Amino acid sequence: MPSCPRCHQQVDAQAIACPFCHTELKAHGHPGITLHRAIQEGYLCDTCTYHADDTCNFPQRPFAKECTLYLNVNRVSNSKPYKPTFNTTLQGWLQRNATWIVLGLLIAVSLFLAISGR
């Protein structure tokens, strides 16, 4: 169970606010949006990935003490980038171009019938 950043009491993971000191724990009153807070006197932007690559559009940047998009630049990512297999790529291409494939086959059959003299 997480603890409240202000009073350090144990709180429910889905709690929107601390039941003891009423500190907001989730952003915009939604239990699915985590509200990240700076520890002590520092700013979140100093260690944020979005600030480092200059893609942050948060109005309080670079002095944000609370943020919903915070992603620590020092966190090591264990996930591998998605690389589709050949079958997946081919299947996607066929689905995207099904109309053109059918139209091309129809033209090819029409030309074959016209040339063969039927």
| Its pTM surpasses 0.95 | no
Tokens 């006197």 appear where? 41
In angstroms, how far is CA 98 from the centroid of its own chain?
A: 30
Instruction: Output the pLDDT for position 100.
Output: 97
**Is the bond leading into 59 cis (omega within 30 degrees of zero)?**
no
Give the number of other Cβ atoms within 10 Å of residue 60's Cβ: 13
Q: How far apart are CA 87 and CA 94, in angstroms?
A: 10
Q: In this predicted model, what pLDDT tens digit does every residue of 42-68 receive, in sequence order? A: 888 888 888 888 888 888 888 888 888
